[in-house]
């Protein structure tokens, strides 16, 4: 039964989900956001140590360091995202990054990569359900119910649900509807359509190594791109605006190497990536951490089945059952080479517009 105002559950508090939640809230909907991690931002992530008493890796004796170990930076290509980033810059949520060795215009979150997401989260009228991994969706009597690993069945019911997750995770969650014990059996056919779209988008992984050095690494570039190497990218974190001065480098393995070694032990991964970096820098890390991103980047854009390739929808919305999806993998702009963070934002904006148009908010 449609309630007033329309109630949405947004699953995933990355940039896409938070942008969607903010847009729907601004249009008068009641929105709850569910996020499996403790913090927000998803793949716009920053790891810190020794920075503050509540930093997860901090200890009194730990050296201070910080690293944007997911997206290292982002571009703004489309007019609408350029305008948004200009607003972020004005509000000191994002800053321009001018690494030596790079000619493109690049942006980073101010102080940390999570800053834009944290600001969006703080602007929402309702608190986010963090540390809540939604593992089952069920539709009953015209409303959605959510189950999480941590809290069981959520007490409230929703008129609409938006999955703001990487495609493979969205597909997995959708399959709980299709295969569930829902009294509305026809729901399986709606879920199947959404699953087909998510399953059509392969996502590549990325192994990341955060490496700390005792003294400055003698390279003129702050941003190095590699080819024909397990390494794809190396970034001097201190070259970003408002970062600690410590000599910390982010090393990202290539998508191909990461996918071929996605189940490898982290020790072997760090050995390989640090050795590759040593070859160009002659520098040996004094400490390092490893992180595996199983789903880092979409390999191509999602197109709704039957839609023209010129379709301007950058999200998925099924108004009949109030089921939506958004995320970078849906927001990639074919003509503008815009992807990643920009695509996530475009997709979050798109779902909030489409869902709000389709329902009596
Ligand atoms: C290694 C790496 C390098 C990158 N490089 C760049 C780059 O150079 N430029 C660029 O623009 N972009 C880059 N990106 C991509 C960019 O980070 C993403 O496109 C963007 O952040 C995606 O946002 P999103 O909101 O769509 O998804 P996400 O940020 O993935 O958000 C999804 C959220 O859902 C949560 N979640 C997952 N499952 C559940 C569940 N069952 N229940 C509740 N919550 C759940 C996750 O914890 C996460 O917070 C990179 C990403 C990585 C990982």
Look at residue 264 and tell me whether its pLDDT is greater than 90. yes
Q: For residue 86, is it within any domain? A: yes
What pLDDT is recorded for position 140? 86
Look at residue 53 and tell me whether its pLDDT is greater than 70. no
Looking at per-residue confidence, does 338 or 284 come out higher? Answer: 284
How far does residue 108's CA lie from ligand 1's centre (Å)? 15
pLDDT, average across residues 325-353: 88
How far does residue 141's CA lie from ligand 1's centre (Å)? 33
pLDDT, average across residues 34-49: 96
**CA torsion sign, 55 to 56 to 60 to 66?**
negative
One domain, residues 21 and 133: yes
How far does residue 27's CA lie from ligand 1's centre (Å)? 25
Q: Determine if ligand 1 sits within 6 Å of the CB of residue 232.
A: no
Look at residue 91 and tell me whether its pLDDT is greater than 80. yes
Which residue has its alpha carbon closest to ligand 1 atom 6? Answer: 71
Looking at per-residue confidence, does 287 or 359 come out higher? Answer: 287
What pLDDT is recorded for position 101? 78
* Domain count across the chain: 2
pLDDT, average across residues 147-159: 96
How far does residue 280's CA lie from ligand 1's centre (Å)? 30
Q: Which domain holds residue 160?
A: 7-41+119-201+301-358
Q: For residue 112, is it within any domain? A: no
pTM to 2 decimal places = 0.94
Q: For residue 294, is it within any domain? A: yes
What pLDDT is recorded for position 87? 98
pLDDT, average across residues 275-290: 96
Query: In whole angstroms, what is the distance from residue 359 CA to residue 361 CA?
Result: 6
Predicted confidence band of residue 312 (pLDDT cuts 50, 70, 90) = low
CATH code, 228:
3.90.660.10
Look at residue 255 and tell me whether its pLDDT is greater than 90. yes
pLDDT tens figures, 11-33: 999 999 999 999 999 999 999 99
What pLDDT is recorded for position 273? 98
Find out whether 267 and 225 touch, Cβ atoms under 8 Å: no
Q: For residue 1, is it within any domain? A: no
Q: Determine if ligand 1 sits within 6 Å of the CB of residue 9.
A: no
Looking at per-residue confidence, does 3 or 320 come out higher? Answer: 320
pLDDT tens figures, 67-82: 999 999 999 999 999 9
How far does residue 299's CA lie from ligand 1's centre (Å)? 14
pLDDT, average across residues 205-223: 96
Query: In whole angstroms, what is the distance from residue 173 CA to residue 280 CA?
Result: 43
One domain, residues 65 and 136: no
CATH code, 193:
3.50.50.60
One domain, residues 194 and 324: yes
Going along the chain, which residue ranges are E strands?
7-11, 30-34, 47-49, 65-67, 94-97, 106-109, 134-140, 143-148, 152-153, 160-163, 203-213, 223-225, 231-236, 247-253, 287-298, 316-318, 323-325
Q: Determine if ligand 1 sits within 6 Å of the CB of residue 297.
A: yes
Q: Determine if ligand 1 sits within 6 Å of the CB of residue 94.
A: no
- β-partners of residue 298 are 203
What pLDDT is recorded for position 188? 82
Looking at per-residue confidence, does 359 or 72 come out higher? Answer: 72
Predicted confidence band of residue 57 (pLDDT cuts 50, 70, 90) = very low
One domain, residues 245 and 341: no
What is the DSSP code (8-state) at residue 333?
B
Predicted confidence band of residue 64 (pLDDT cuts 50, 70, 90) = confident
Query: In whole angstroms, what is the distance from residue 353 CA to residue 343 CA?
Result: 15
What is the number of other CB atoms lying within 10 angstroms of the CB of residue 32?
A: 20
Helix (H, G, I), strand (E, B) or coil at 56: coil
Of residues 317, 310, 308, the one with CA closest to residue 357: 317
What is the number of other CB atoms lying within 10 angstroms of the CB of residue 201?
A: 22
Q: Determine if ligand 1 sits within 6 Å of the CB of residue 350.
A: no
Tokens for 76?
């703004």
What pLDDT is recorded for position 2? 43
Q: For residue 113, is it within any domain? A: no
- β-partners of residue 162 are 10, 324
One domain, residues 182 and 324: yes
Looking at per-residue confidence, does 189 or 231 come out higher? Answer: 231
How far does residue 310's CA lie from ligand 1's centre (Å)? 25
Q: Determine if ligand 1 sits within 6 Å of the CB of residue 206.
A: yes
């Amino acid at each position: 039964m449609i309630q007033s105002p329309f109630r949405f559950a947004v699953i995933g508090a990355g940039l896409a989900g938070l942008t969607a939640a903010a847009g729907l809230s601004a249009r008068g909907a009641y929105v709850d956001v569910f996020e499996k991690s403790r913090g927000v931002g998803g793949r716009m992530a920053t790891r810190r140590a020794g920075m503050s008493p509540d930093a997860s890796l901090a200890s009194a004796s730990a050296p201070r360091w910080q690293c944007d170990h997911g997206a290292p930076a982002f571009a703004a290509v489309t007019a609408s995202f350029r305008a948004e980033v200009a607003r972020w810059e004005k509000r000191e949520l994002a800053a321009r990054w001018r690494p030596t060795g790079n000619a493109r215009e690049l942006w980073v979150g101010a102080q940390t990569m999570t800053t834009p997401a944290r600001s969006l989260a703080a602007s929402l009228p309702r608190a986010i359900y963090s540390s809540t991994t939604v593992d089952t969706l069920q539709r009953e009597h015209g409303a959605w119910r959510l189950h999480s690993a941590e809290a069981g069945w959520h007490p409230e019911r929703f008129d609409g649900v938006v999955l703001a997750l990487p495609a493979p995770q969205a597909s997995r969650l959708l399959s709980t509807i299709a295969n569930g014990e829902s009294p509305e059996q026809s729901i399986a056919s709606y879920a199947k359509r959404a699953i087909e779209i998510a399953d059509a988008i392969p996502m590549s992984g990325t192994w990341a190594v955060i490496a700390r050095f005792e003294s400055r690494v003698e390279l003129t570039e702050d941003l190095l791109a590699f080819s024909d190497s397990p390494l794809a990218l190396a970034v001097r974190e201190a070259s970003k605006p408002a970062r600690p001065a410590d000599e910390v480098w982010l090393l990202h393995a290539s998508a191909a190497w990461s996918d071929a070694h996605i189940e490898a032990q982290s020790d072997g991964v760090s050995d390989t990536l640090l050795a590759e970096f040593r070859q160009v820098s002659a520098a040996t890390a004094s400490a390092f951490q490893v992180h595996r991103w199983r789903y880092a980047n979409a390999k191509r854009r999602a197109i709704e089945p039957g839609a023209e390739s010129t379709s301007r929808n950058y999200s998925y919305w099924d108004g009949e059952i109030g089921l939506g999806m958004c995320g970078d993998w849906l927001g990639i702009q074919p003509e503008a080479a815009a992807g990643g963070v920009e695509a996530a934002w475009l997709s979050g904006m798109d779902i909030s517009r489409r869902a709000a148009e389709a329902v009596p908010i």
